């Protein structure tokens, strides 16, 4: 298959579903880390497997046979909002095919948090049944970025060209995910939100403060005359990173 054909691939919806299932089935067969649709651990080698399966099942092995650039597949432990991201050099337009470099970065925490909330989890307009399917949908979105970058040296999922590619290839009707994110889980599980007054204990001593950020832990600002941080009114604070389960709402 030629590069120019990548953008003309078009599968009818039943075929997309069948191909996506085929990828899933083979991934579960071949990965020593995955045992079902619920992801509890996953490795970079699983992303490599996933990529090779998509390449074969959706792209007629275009990447295996014709792509001469470099492709890195990685998990990020820092991405807590974006489920996936495609990174490429700024000077991509000036690079020869051999110099092309891309990195598909996937958030790990979002997929591990998948089951923490009971509600519909739609990714790219498709309702997912488990975290593995959600991972596939996110991966598909990044593959569309990869193809668009490879063919046109620029890519935007807000533009029509990307959206028709994602629709034709994978049946995506949107470019976003509604997977549970940490602040929503914090609110649902612990009743905690940004701006809440909370207390927590460190070595038997109780501290009172205000939540100003929630990632894997909450960032709590505690009034402290000797603190390093100062608000607009000149009041000083110390900053604490506290696991959500240890916070008490006041």
| Interface with Zn ion (CB under 5 A) | 157
Element of type H or E holding 138: helix 131-152
C-beta of 141: minimal distance to Zn ion in Å?
6
Place of tokens 């970079």: 44
Alpha carbons within 13 A on the beta-carbon side of 173? 5
- Residue nearest Zn ion, Cβ-based: 157
C-beta of 41: minimal distance to Zn ion in Å?
26
C-beta of 39: minimal distance to Zn ion in Å?
21
Nearer to Zn ion, 107 or 190 (CB): 107
Nearer to Zn ion, 157 or 181 (CB): 157
**Beta-carbon count within 10 A of 44 CB:** 12
Tell which residue, 81, 82, 174, has the closest CA to residue 128.
Answer: 174
Nearer to Zn ion, 113 or 175 (CB): 175
126: its two tokens:
């498709």
Cα(first)–Cα(last) distance of the chain, in Å?
A: 63
C-beta of 113: minimal distance to Zn ion in Å?
20
99: its two tokens:
């110099």
With contact defined as beta carbons under 8 Å apart, do 73 and 44 qualify?
yes
With contact defined as beta carbons under 8 Å apart, do 155 and 162 qualify?
yes
C-beta of 34: minimal distance to Zn ion in Å?
25
Distance in angstroms (rounded) separating the CA atoms of residues 133 and 137: 6
**Beta-carbon count within 10 A of 72 CB:** 12
Distance in angstroms (rounded) separating the CA atoms of residues 83 and 16: 21
C-beta of 138: minimal distance to Zn ion in Å?
10
Nearer to Zn ion, 138 or 211 (CB): 138
Nearer to Zn ion, 98 or 158 (CB): 158
Nearer to Zn ion, 104 or 222 (CB): 104
Nearer to Zn ion, 27 or 157 (CB): 157
With contact defined as beta carbons under 8 Å apart, do 34 and 27 qualify?
yes
C-beta of 135: minimal distance to Zn ion in Å?
15
């Amino acid at each position: 298959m030629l590069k120019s054909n990548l953008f003309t691939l078009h599968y009818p919806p039943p075929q997309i579903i069948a191909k996506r299932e085929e990828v899933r089935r083979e991934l579960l067969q071949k990965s020593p880390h995955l045992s079902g649709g619920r992801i509890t651990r996953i490795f970079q080698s699983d992303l490599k497997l996933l990529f090779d399966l998509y390449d074969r099942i959706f792209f007629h092995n275009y990447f295996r046979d014709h792509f001469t650039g470099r492709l890195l597949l990685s998990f990020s432990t820092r991405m807590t909002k974006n489920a996936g991201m495609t990174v490429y050099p700024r000077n991509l337009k000036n690079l020869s095919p051999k110099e092309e470099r891309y990195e598909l970065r996937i958030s790990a925490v979002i997929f591990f948090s998948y089951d923490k909330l009971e509600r519909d989890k739609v990714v790219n307009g498709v309702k997912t049944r488990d975290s593995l399917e959600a991972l596939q949908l996110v991966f598909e979105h990044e593959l569309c970025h990869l193809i668009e970058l490879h063919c046109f040296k620029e890519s935007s999922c807000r533009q029509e060209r990307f959206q028709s590619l994602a629709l034709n290839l994978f049946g995506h009707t949107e470019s976003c995910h509604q997977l549970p994110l940490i602040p929503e889980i914090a609110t649902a599980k612990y009743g905690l939100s940004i701006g809440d007054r909370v207390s927590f204990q460190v070595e038997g001593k109780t501290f009172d403060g205000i939540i100003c950020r929630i990632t894997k832990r909450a960032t709590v600002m505690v009034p402290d005359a000797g603190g390093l941080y100062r608000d607009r009114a000149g009041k000083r604070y110390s900053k604490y990173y506290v696991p959500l389960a240890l916070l008490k709402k006041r």
